[in-house]
A and B are shown apart, each in its own frame.
Chain A
Amino acid sequence: DVKVTQSSRYLVKRTGEKVFLECVQDMDHENMFWYRQDPGLGLRLIYFSYDVKMKEKGDIPEGYSVSREKKERFSLILESASTNQTSMYLCASSLGGGLINSPLHFGNGTRLTVT
C-alpha cells in the first residue's frame, strides 16, 4: 500500500513565524499535492508538483511556497504565518508519469494553529 506520511499531526506556531510542513511518500510517485481543508470550504488545492524541482500553483497559493528537491518529499512553506492560515493541511501523491488515470493517496493531515 502507498504510504503518505506528514511529519506532524498537530502544530502550533506564532504569527510571523516561518513554518515548514513536510510530506514523504514511499511509492515513487511522480505527482505530489498540498491541500488545505476548512469547515464549509472543502479541500482547496494550494500547490502541486509533477516532477522534482517542478511546481504549479493551485487555487490558493498566496502566502505559501513549496519545495521538491527529492522525488519522495514535498514541503509546504508558510513564509510568515498568519492566523488565517490556521487550517488542516493535507498532502497527497499520485503515480503520474503522464498517466491521467492515477488516483490520489492522502496522508492523515497536519492540523496547524497559528496564534
Chain B
Amino acid sequence: DAKTTQPTSMDCAEGRAANLPCNHSTISGNEYVYWYRQIHSQGPQYIIHGLKNNETNEMASLIITEDRKSSTLILPHATLRDTAVYYCIVGYYDMRFGAGTRLTVKP
C-alpha cells in the first residue's frame, strides 16, 4: 500500500501558487519524499525530491516539515499546462504510488 495521503482533487487559478499537501506519517529515517506528475496519456514525470531540507528547482519547491510527517509541493506560478495528477511518494528504490491529487488550473 502507498505510504502517503493526498487530497483527491484541487483547483488553482492561473498565475497563482499551487500548494499541494501530502501526509506521510509513517516515513522512516532514510526514506526520501518524491513528487511526480502525470499529464493525461503520458508516463509520470519526475518533479523534485528531498530528505529533510526544503528543496527548489526550476519546476517547483518542496517544503518538508521538521518531523518529516508531511510535505507540500509548491508550483509558484501555475499555468494551464500544470493541470495534471500529482503523486507524492516516499520510499527507496521500489516506489509505490497512491491515487495522487488531480490539480486543475483554471483561467
Contacts and interface: CB of A to CB of B under 8 A. Distances in A.
Contacts, number: 61
Contact of A104 (B46, B51, B100): B46
B34 A103 contact: yes
Interface stretch (B16-24, B37-45, B73-81): B37-45
B85 to A, nearest CB: 9
Interface string B19-58: 0000000000011101010000111111001010000000
User: Interface majority SS on B: helix, strand, loop or mixed?
Assistant: loop
Contacts of B51: 101
B2 to A, nearest CB: 8
A100 B93 contact: yes
Nearest to B97: A43
Contact of A101 (B32, B95, B97): B32
Interface of B: 2, 30-32, 34, 36, 41-46, 49, 51, 87, 92-100
Counting from the closest, the 5 A-B pairs by CB-CB distance are: A106-B43, A43-B97, A103-B46, A100-B92, A42-B99
Given A42-B98, A108-B41, 10 more contacts: A33-B95, A42-B97, A42-B100, A43-B44, A45-B95, A45-B97, A48-B94, A92-B44, A108-B43, A109-B43
